[in-house]
Amino acid sequence: MRGIFTPITKIRRQVFTEVAKFAFERDLDQEDYNYFYESSYRIIPGEVATYRDSVFKERAIIRERIRLAMGLPIRPTQTHTPLTLGMDQAMKADKQLEMPLVNVIPFACAACPTDMFEVSDNCRKCLAHPCTSVCPVNAISIGKTAAIIDHDKCIKCGRCKEACPYNAIMRFGRPCAEACGAKAIISDELGRAKIDHDKCVSCGLCIVACPFAAIADKSEILQLITAIRMGQKVFAALAPAFVGQFGPLATPGKIVSGIKALGITRVIEVGWGADIGSLHEAEEFLREVPEKKPFLGTSCCPAWSTFAKKVQPESADCIAQTHAPMVASAKEIKKEHPDAKVVFIGPCIAKKVEALEDEVRPYVDYVITYEELMGLFAAKGIELDEMEEAPLTTFASRDGRNYAVAGGVAAGVVNVIKKLDPGREVPVMKADGLSECRKMLTLAKAGKAKGHLLEGMACPGGCVGGPGTLAVITRAGKSVAAFAETSPYETAKDNPLDHRAFPDPQSVND
């Protein structure tokens, strides 16, 4: 549903805008929560339900979404809990997110069927009725007007669907579960979706897939804005998928200008950190594969790397030890500006979890998505097409910028390997979407990836298909590719990677 402005898009943006507006306008010395009691009435006005069977239910769901957008947990449904519980802590700039990150709001879930076969109007009640012939449990009979499936008997093998000459039998499942390649969506006692957090890798694709807006993740927009308003120096590390996310008139320079208008001190390209990653992973591949490790899996996507380690723990050391571009960029910022705060702005929800890791937390203070960033723009009344162009003062290579598209990470690493060892052949396996990643890992386990570089991406199309994006995946991919071609450097090896890329912010902002 990305790239389509649905009621869910509207609701999510309204929630982010409400929280951001409060953060920008609140009195830092007082804790006034009346704003949030009124927010659900601003988002859901009147007495007539718009989206569900009750306006009161709609507002109750909005309140839980507001809590999540503030970085707070949803409240238990069995007992009364004040809306404001924990808000005093959420108001602090150093408040860290707590797991679980991705949450199902139980009373927002429609308890969709988990897996079902149904006969459509296409059924011609044909003479052959092969559906009844192939069913191994006699779950199909021929009724007065069409075939009938007995769901109590059906074992969901799908043979009837394959046999029907009219394609009259359809299979459909719970959208969130269908989108979850980690198979982390289960059901509670009432048949509603529930997340198995032992399997969940926080890829966030269930959030995008749910047509009832029943799943949401926690946000740090309140804490980020609080840090800005407290006068802290904040650097934004902007992920390369940002191009094309904010409409055709929002050029990269205008987007940078808009981010600075929020009070951000400096904006740098995370693609610059991707170049650092390409260099490190190329060196690791040449050093380790295949003598010490049978293959090397890229480490750019945290959902993929976590998934690989959970699904195939015996191969965990085959995932590259290189820091992801987000971390590489943040480390360089902190090296020259240790007192600065760093916010990663990207398409990814799993990055929020990565930022909580002990070795990453000292470098990355906040993570927000492009969708959350839109909420900040709306709260401040920033129209990107009206902004002046602001130059990018750190440059990523073409390959670094293409990290945002499936296949781009592997290409970036391979191109460095070719520079370092021109005679070395590097076979590549790549997969986007965790279901495809699972198949790739199965091949690797069977010994069919020896000497390979494995690129895994949790999201379809790569980072441009992340849950925090706004644009159609194919269109976003083309925008990223076009922007990548404007780089003065082709590969990470060509990029001088001047580590003095972060001069005093005053000198680049004036």
- Angle at alpha carbon of residue 215, lines to 209 and 220, rounded to 5°: 115
Please give the full DSSP string across 293-358, using - where no structure is assigned: -S-EE--S-HHHHHHHHHH-GGGGGGB--SPPHHHHHHHHHHHH-TT-EEEEEES-SHHHHHTTST
- Block mean pLDDT (10 aa), the chain, length 510: 83 96 91 86 94 95 97 93 91 93 96 92 93 96 94 94 96 94 95 96 96 97 97 96 94 96 95 94 96 94 96 94 92 93 97 96 97 97 95 88 97 97 95 96 95 97 96 95 95 78 44
User: What is the predicted pLDDT for the residue at 392?
Assistant: 80
User: What is the predicted pLDDT for the residue at 502?
Assistant: 54
Please name which of 108, 271, 134 lies closest in space to residue 192, comparing C-alpha atoms.
108
User: What is the predicted pLDDT for the residue at 506?
Assistant: 44
Q: Is the pTM above the cut of 0.85?
A: yes
The H or E element containing residue 429 is: strand 428-432
Helix (H, G, I), strand (E, B) or coil at 419: helix
- Angle at alpha carbon of residue 506, lines to 504 and 510, rounded to 5°: 140
Count of residues making up the chain: 510
User: What is the predicted pLDDT for the residue at 1?
Assistant: 63
Domain at 231-509: CATH code: 3.40.950.10
The H or E element containing residue 157 is: none
Domain layout of the chain by residue ranges: 7-106+179-221, 115-173, 231-509
Domain at 115-173: CATH code: 3.30.70.20
Q: Give CA–CA dist 497/508, Å, rounded.
A: 18
Q: How far is CA 370 from CA 240, 248, 384, in A?
A: 11, 15, 13
